[in-house]
Amino acid sequence: MRITDVRVTPIAFRDPPLLNVAGVHEPWALRSIIEVETTEGHVGLGESYGDLETLANLGKAKPGLIGLDPFDLNGLTRVVYAAVGDNPDPGQTFAPAGDKARASALAAFEVAFLDLQGKLTGRPLYDILGGKLRDRVPYSAYLFYKFARHKDDPGYPADDWGEGLSHEQMVEQARRMVTEFGFSSIKLKAGVFEPDFEIETLRHLRKAFPDHPLRIDPNGGWSVETTRRVMPQLEGLLEYLEDPARTLAEMGQVATFAPMPLATNMVTIAFGHIPETIRLNAVQVVLSDHHYWGGLRATQNLAHLGRVFGFGISMHSNSHMGISLAAMTHVGATIPNLAYACDTHYPWQVEEVIEGGKLRIENGSVAPPEGAGLGVHLDRAALARLHQQYLDCGIRVRDDAKEMRKYRPDFNPARPRF
């Protein structure tokens, strides 16, 4: 059983004008769909970013995968590291601190290899990863301040979520998320407005949802001094505070006065960051993302380190399709210390590339799709349509700041903003 073909197809899908510290989402989000095929015609699926750098790195690794056994994950690691990172030690298990490009390329292909392993053995991917510990994986409502529509007409219907700029509008956004998907925790993407305004939004959410744990994520948009000033307003309000400051050292400073756990998907994003994170006690919750930690096995290893050093585990999200959600859910089902509901942008996406349409989020959770491997299959017509959208949309690198300057020409994405 050998790999005979590898296909990487960039796609673009509709994305709402969601606000964040870097600006606003462009009308089209980019991803890449990975297919790894064997001699017998079995196909394993993966999903990754769709920017030019990621596509180039995946392209560099593709030739070396031909002829590999789909069970040879160490061989896959050697091929990817040699192609993308020129690593003098081809047996190194994980990328060093900050080497996101190499880890991302490995993750994209590793999911496809694991999907193949499941299909070849007739077992769900969570069995390939050691067996599931839970039947469903919890996810959180992910709230965004947003504009009602994109500045430039992207040529598709406006989303039906409407504007989200006031406290009352954000409560209604949360109410729809909870009603439609059953989410039992709520996260607010912040760093958009003055911290006091965003904290007032949290107070409105607390009044409307007294039993829902709340989180806020300024994406490094606050200085240490600002965080110290607003901390009394946040005490007793949050489940955790995510990335108020932008560096590991600054998060360590915040940890000295924060009464709640601090979480991150920005300052601890590689295994080489763990020692300093522990030394500073800078983070108590790490939001893993298999797309840049190095894959599903790397996610499990990160969770194990969480058990060793006492930090909690959740999962980070970006705009994604069902292949990524299936992968997140399979690995989430295997992690014993998944202490917090995971992030997902999935409710914001209206298009899909898998057969049967979107996966179902019910009672705020997702069950691993049934069937061998990931349990999902490509919708070829949808793949072709989304690839054509990629060819037509003109976006090749995500740039939220450029998009925001269409609304506010003087916008500056430098952090800290406040």
| Active site (catalytic) residues | 189, 316
Q: How many residues does the chain have?
A: 418
* Nearest-angstrom CA–CA distance, 278 and 100: 21
Could you give the 3-state DSSP secondary structure of residue 407?
coil
What is the CB neighbour count within 10 angstroms for residue 232?
Answer: 9
Rg (CA), the chain: 21
Instruction: List Cβ<8 Å contacts ≥24 apart for 224-233.
Output: 224/250, 224/253, 224/254, 226/195, 226/416, 226/418, 227/254, 227/258, 228/254, 228/257, 230/195, 230/196, 230/199, 231/257, 231/258, 231/259, 233/196, 233/199
Provide φ and ψ at 152, rounded to 5°: -100, 135
* Nearest-angstrom CA–CA distance, 244 and 98: 20
Q: What is the DSSP annotation of 66-90?
A: TT--TT-HHHHHHHHIIIII--S-T
Torsion of Cα atoms, 106 then 271 then 269 then 239, to 10°: 130
Element (H, E) at 95: none
**339-372: string of b/e by CB count within 10 Å (b at 16+)?**
bbbbbbbbbbbebbbbeeeebebeebbbbbbeeb
* Nearest-angstrom CA–CA distance, 78 and 91: 6
Helices assigned H by DSSP within 333-397 = 380-393
